[in-house]
Chains A and B, each alone.
Chain A
C-alpha cells in the first residue's frame, strides 16, 4: 500500500518537474533577470532600506538556489551600476581601479556590473576581490589592494565595513580615492573613520536634501508635514506634475491618449531633476548623484546632467 503511494507520489513529482521544465525552458539557463530595488540607503530610512534590500537578496538567493525563476537567475540591482563606472572613469579619471565587494548577492552583482562597465570604458581594473564582512581587521586585504597600485578603490558593500576600510587605509598610508556604492551611505561610516573619511565619495540615489532642484519641494514638504521627506516623495510629486501638465496640454483624460502623450514629453523639469520617459515607460535618466564627506558630514558633490558630472 505504502509502496503504491510512494510510486504515485514520485510519478506526480516527476510529471510536475517535467511539465515545469517544458513550460519554462531549461532550468540550468544562465540568463539573468535583473530586479531593481530602489531603496533608501541614507537618511532616516537607512536601516529600513537595508532591511528591504536584504529581504530582496534573501529571496533572490533562495529562488536561485531552487533553480531560479522561469529559467532566469535573479540578480538584485541597486540603481547604481553604470553611473558609478561613468563617474569613476569620467570624473575621477580612474586609470587603475580596484573594486571590492562583500560577497553578498547585491554587492557582488553591483561590483560585477561596474567592472564590466569600467572595462568597456577602457579602464584597467587592477583588483576585483571580495572580503568577508563582519570582521574588524582588513589591513591585509587593503595591503593587497595597495599592491595593485590603483588610483581609485570602489567598494560595493555596506557602510560598516567601508568605515573600517577607510580608517585602516589611512593607517596603512594608502592614498587612493575611496568610493562607496549606495550601501555606504550612512553617517556611521564617518563616525568610524573619523578624519580619514574626509573626501570619501559615495554614489547614491539622492534624497531631496541633496538636490538643488528640490529645494522648494523640501521646504514646502517640511513646512506642510513637519517631517523630512523620504526618498520617494519627490518622484511621486514629479509624477503627478508631469501627468497634470500633459492632461492640460491634450485637454482630455482618456488614459490611452495620456499615455501616448507622456511618451512624447521631451523633457520635464521636475524637482527630482530633468527627465523624460523611455520606450519601456521608465524614467530616464535614473537620478544619480555623488556625495562627498566634508567637515564630518555628507554633502552633495556631483550629479549627472547632459552627459557630464556637474556640481550638484
Chain B
C-alpha cells in the first residue's frame, strides 16, 4: 500500500514537467490550431542552455540558488526568443496555407533543432553539475526528496503565474478571445499578430524552464530528449482538452501519475503503451478531452 504513495509522489513530480510542456502545446493550438511538433525540442534546447550556463559558472562557487536562477532565466529567455523566431520564420508565413504545410514546417523546425543540438553538444549524454540537495523527508516507507518538492513548487509557481496572466490581464483575455474566434478578435481591436507572438513566447518560456528543471533534477541530458517528453506532453494537452489551459495543467499531472502507476503496477515496458491507450480512448470516446476543448459554439 505504501508503494502507492511513493508512486503518487513520483508521478506528481514527473507530471509537473509534463504539465509545463503541455501548456505550450495547448496554448499554441488554441491560438493558431497548430500542433507545434517542435515544442518538445524547445524543451531540449532550454535544457542545453541551462547546461551551458551552469558549466560556465560552476567553477565560481556562487550560491547554488543564484546559479539555478541564472540557469532558469537564461534558459527561459533563450527559448522564449527561439519560440518567437520560430513563429515569425516558420509558421506565420504559412498561416493561410493548407494546414499540412505548417505541420511539415513544424517537423522541419524540430529536425533543425535536434540536429543543431547534436552538432553543438555531441550525440552522447551531457551531465548537469549536481546542484540540488540529495536528502528528503522520510514518512514511514515513503520518501519525498527535497528536490522533488522544489521541482513541483517551481512548476506550480510558473503555472499559477500563467493562470493569473490569462484570466486576469487584458492581454491574457485577448489570448483567450483569439482562441475562440480569430476574426471576431481582430474586429474587437485585438492585435492578432502580436498576441500570437506572445503566446509562442510564453509557451516556449515554460518549456525552457521545464528543460532546465529536467537537467537539474535528472542530471543527464541528450539531444533526443525532446521527442519522448514532447509526445507525452502532447498526450496530456489532448487529454485535458487541447486549447484548454487549466486542462493541460491537470492532465499533465494526470499523465505523470498514469506513467508512474503503470511502471509500478505493470512494468516500465508498458508505460507508453498505457499512456497512448489512454490517449486513444479519450480521442474515441471524448475527443474534446476531459475538460472540453475551448471552442465557441456557432449558433
For the complex, would chain B's binding face be called helix, strand, loop or mixed by DSSP majority? Answer: helix
**By the criterion CB–CB under 8 Å, are B263 and A173 in contact?**
no
Would you give the shortest CB distance from A55 to chain B, in whole angstroms? 17
Which of B23-31, B154-162, B265-273 is the interface stretch?
B265-273
Tell me the bound Cα distance from A129 to B267 in angstroms. 8
**By the criterion CB–CB under 8 Å, are B264 and A163 in contact?**
no
A residues near B220, Cβ cutoff 8 Å: 136, 160, 163-164, 188, 192
Interface residues on B, range: 35 or more
**By the criterion CB–CB under 8 Å, are B264 and A173 in contact?**
no
Which of B6-14, B94-102, B238-246, B278-286 is the interface stretch?
B6-14
Tell me the bound Cα distance from A247 to B230 in angstroms. 65
Partner of A139, one of B10, B214, B267, B271: B10
Tell me the bound Cα distance from A191 to B7 in angstroms. 26
A residues near B272, Cβ cutoff 8 Å: 132
Which of B105-113, B124-132, B177-185, B193-201 is the interface stretch?
B124-132
Which of B81-89, B143-151, B287-295 is the interface stretch?
B143-151
B residues near A188, Cβ cutoff 8 Å: 124-125, 127, 220
**By the criterion CB–CB under 8 Å, are A195 and B130 in contact?**
yes
**By the criterion CB–CB under 8 Å, are B148 and A194 in contact?**
no
Which of A7-15, A25-33, A140-148 is the interface stretch?
A140-148
Partner of A135, one of B10, B138, B143, B271: B271
Tell me the bound Cα distance from A164 to B214 in angstroms. 12
Known: A135-B228, A160-B220. A172 touches B130 (CB 8 A): no
Would you give the shortest CB distance from A262 to chain B, in whole angstroms? 42
Would you give the shortest CB distance from A127 to chain B, in whole angstroms? 12
A186-200 to B contact mask, C-beta < 8 Å, 1/0: 001001111110000
Closest to B135 in A: A173
Partner of A143, one of B6, B148, B271: B6
A residues near B228, Cβ cutoff 8 Å: 134-135
Counting CB contacts under 8 A, is B79 at the interface?
Answer: no
A150-192 to B contact mask, C-beta < 8 Å, 1/0: 0000000000100110010011110000000000000010011
For the complex, would chain A's binding face be called helix, strand, loop or mixed by DSSP majority? Answer: helix
B residues near A132, Cβ cutoff 8 Å: 268-269, 271-272
Would you give the shortest CB distance from B224 to chain A, in whole angstroms? 8
Would you give the shortest CB distance from B265 to chain A, in whole angstroms? 9
Would you give the shortest CB distance from A184 to chain B, in whole angstroms? 13
Counting CB contacts under 8 A, is B77 at the interface?
Answer: no
Known: A171-B134, A172-B143. A140 touches B7 (CB 8 A): yes
Tell me the bound Cα distance from A163 to B124 in angstroms. 14
Would you give the shortest CB distance from B193 to chain A, in whole angstroms? 37
Known: A132-B269, A173-B136. A164 touches B218 (CB 8 A): yes
Counting CB contacts under 8 A, is B69 at the interface?
Answer: no
Partner of B214, one of A131, A136, A170, A193: A136
Partner of B136, one of A129, A160, A171: A171
Q: Which parts of B244-259 form the interface with A (CB within 8 Å)? A: 259
Closest to B262 in A: A140
Partner of B268, one of A135, A163, A192, A196: A135
Counting CB contacts under 8 A, is A137 at the interface?
Answer: yes
Partner of A137, one of B10, B125, B134: B10
**By the criterion CB–CB under 8 Å, are B134 and A196 in contact?**
yes
**By the criterion CB–CB under 8 Å, are A141 and B219 in contact?**
no
Tell me the bound Cα distance from A130 to B268 in angstroms. 8
Counting CB contacts under 8 A, is A47 at the interface?
Answer: yes
Known: A131-B269, A171-B147, A172-B145. A144 touches B218 (CB 8 A): no
Counting CB contacts under 8 A, is B73 at the interface?
Answer: no
Tell me the bound Cα distance from A134 to B229 in angstroms. 11
A residues near B268, Cβ cutoff 8 Å: 130-132, 135, 138, 140-141
B residues near A193, Cβ cutoff 8 Å: 219
Partner of B130, one of A139, A147, A194: A194
B residues near A137, Cβ cutoff 8 Å: 10, 13-14, 218, 259
Counting CB contacts under 8 A, is B3 at the interface?
Answer: yes
Counting CB contacts under 8 A, is B225 at the interface?
Answer: yes
Counting CB contacts under 8 A, is A228 at the interface?
Answer: no
Closest to A100 in B: B268
Tell me the bound Cα distance from A172 to B147 in angstroms. 11
13 contacts between A and B (CB under 8 A): A47-B124, A135-B228, A137-B14, A138-B263, A144-B263, A160-B220, A163-B220, A171-B147, A188-B127, A188-B220, A191-B219, A194-B134, A194-B219
Q: Which residues from chain B sit less than 8 Å from chain A, CB to CB?
A: 3, 6-7, 10-11, 13-14, 124-125, 127, 130, 134, 136, 138, 143, 145, 147-148, 214, 218-220, 225, 228, 259-264, 267-269, 271-272
Q: Which residues from chain A sit less than 8 Å from chain B, CB to CB?
A: 47, 103, 129-132, 134-141, 143-144, 147, 160, 163-164, 167, 170-173, 188, 191-196
Beyond A103-B269, A135-B268, A137-B259, 6 additional pairs, beta carbon < 8 A: A137-B13, A140-B264, A143-B6, A164-B220, A171-B134, A196-B134
* Nearest 9 pairs of A and B residues by beta carbon: A194-B130, A140-B263, A191-B127, A139-B10, A140-B264, A173-B143, A171-B145, A131-B268, A192-B220
